[in-house]
Amino acid sequence: MRTAEAVDEIRVEEGGRRVVVVAGRLRLPVSAGVTDDQALMLARAGTTAWHLLRTCAHLRPDESIVVHDAASEVGAIAVQLARSFAAGRVIATESSQSRRRRAVRLGADVAVESDPDGLAERVIQANEGKQVDVVLDPGGTVKASLDALAPFGRIVCYGADQDESIKLTGLLGGSQAVIGFRFEHTLERPDMIARAVSELFGLTSAGRLRPVAGD
């Protein structure tokens, strides 16, 4: 069986129909108005961002959200989706001023320095003095994010090298959740990719989503 590391590609089938082949085995038609490069990005980075928000975080309208590494491919799409899904305040974190400016251009209300030292305080200040509802964490910020998380808040971890330990007692005491996501598991349930890609292609065709390559 092929793994998620298999190369994604665009193929043109008989009749000129374009399909994106994900991980060498899942074929999905590409909508008009979506370029080949956009389709490839949405198939993996877009599907990841969509499930972080929809399946894992269950982001609700008007909830505040922090997107760490917001200038990456997944982060950039997540910022735009959060805005499209009617999130409240969208807060980006990034390591440089240019990357923070990029996150704001993509739709974040504010972008703050991502250095772990003082990160929780900066996030709360960026959320007008209130703790946040949802955090998307690609790795290395779970502890700081927990300090900024409101009761019933959710942190979704999706990076490959998550190595921070979380005490269950702390989560229980704060009515909080830390949720993991791996793209590979969606390949075992093709409907999960098909649902995500269908909405992503629709938003892109309508001009409401602009997939951009990461820095």
What integer is the mean pLDDT of 65-82?
A: 97
**What are the structural domains of the chain?**
9-205 (3.40.50.720)
Three-state SS annotation for 95-136: CCHHHHHHHHHHCCCEEEECCCCCHHHHHHHHCCCCCEEEEE
Sign of CA dihedral 147, 148, 153, 154: negative
* 132 pLDDT more than 80: yes
- Select the more confidently predicted residue: 99 or 160: 99
Instruction: Specify the pTM.
Output: 0.91
Please determine, for residue 190, whether its predicted confidence score (pLDDT) is greater than 70: yes
Q: E strands within 16-89?
A: 18-22, 26-29, 65-68
- Who wins on pLDDT, 142 or 215? 142
Tell me how far apart the alpha carbons of residues 47 and 59 are, in angstroms, rounded to a whole number. Answer: 15
